[in-house]
Amino acid sequence: MIPVPAPPRPSPKPAWLKVRLPSGEGYERVRGILGGLELNTVCVEARCPNVAECWGGGTATVMLLGDTCTRGCRFCNVKTGNPRGAVDRGEPARVAAAVARLGLRYIVLTSVNRDDLPDGGAGHFAETVRAIRALDRAILVETLIPDYEGEALATLAAASPEVLAHNVETVERLTPEVRDRNRNSYRKSLGVLAAGKRLAPRSFTKSSIMLGLGERDEEVRATMRDLRDVGVEFLTIGQYLRPTPWHLPVLEYVEPARFEAWRREAEGLGFRSVASGPLVRSSYRAGELFVERLLAEAR
């Protein structure tokens, strides 16, 4: 019997990546409401390090269309499989109910990839946006979408979310190693963002980059320029954290000062809002950043 080699041991995390364990009244309230309504969150499924901060503040990112993704990206902790066309038709109404019970004024919706569905789940996504709007049209909605194209993207864009987000995740050279090499493409993602802006010109577009995977500085700069060239206005930059020993290893823990330098450089390129830091994720402080931008432009 051939022995199976053990996965490499991860490097110890630096002090700036230590986070407190989730707890507190706000956290328990959000967990209770979302659990009671049988809703998935990217906060839990992707092991987000900010779950204590976000849930403690009464907000969360809801993950639609189940907890099983049809793709196998090597950075992501969401489980992979074939949902075989299963769709929970009552989910949009339950998401709206969660928004009401939590008293949210800003909600982030995301989903697993659903290549088993003809439209990738775009119609279900749009239906959820409409259910929230029926509750209160003043609620701001951010949609963090898969790489929808054509009619699927048009369906989502027609729901007119305030923010239409899609993540490139990493630099072009590393995309085949980091994301599902058979279905994901750096250029395809740029095309999604460009087309999303054309189809929903009143929506702001947003993307995210992870650092620590072996990218070079000039590649990060090229990625930011590519995002600006297709009209992306909001950007988040964060540290890749290995969810399990079987995922891609962290090649570098980027220091907070370097993240601050990237923030300044991104703002110099013309991004309207930039969140950059070791624990920043694509939905990090999304509502606050959006409101801050609106207030800044109103001055």
pLDDT value for 12 = 76
Residues in the chain predicted with pLDDT less than 70, given as ranges, are: 1-11, 19-28, 31, 41-60, 284-299
pLDDT value for 36 = 81
Cα dihedral value 149, 151, 156, 157, nearest 10: 90
pLDDT value for 46 = 45
pLDDT value for 105 = 82
Give phi and psi for 235, each to the nearest 5. -140, 140
pLDDT value for 52 = 54
For the question of whether the overall pTM of this predicted structure is more than 0.85, the answer is yes
pLDDT value for 45 = 45
| All structural domains of the chain with their residue ranges | 21-298
What's the pLDDT tens digit per position in 198-241?
Answer: 999 999 999 999 999 999 999 999 999 999 999 999 999 999 99
* CATH number belonging to the domain at 21-298, selected among 3.40.390.10, 3.40.50.620, 3.20.20.70, 3.40.50.920: 3.20.20.70
DSSP H or E run through 217: helix 217-229
Question: Are 176 and 215 a contacting pair, CB within 8 Å?
Answer: no
What's the pLDDT tens digit per position in 139-153?
Answer: 889 999 999 999 999
Question: Are 199 and 191 a contacting pair, CB within 8 Å?
Answer: no
Distance CA 186, CA 153 (A): 17
**Of all residues in the chain, what percent carry a pLDDT higher than 70?**
80
What is the distance in angstroms between the CA of the first residue and the CA of the last residue of the chain?
Answer: 70
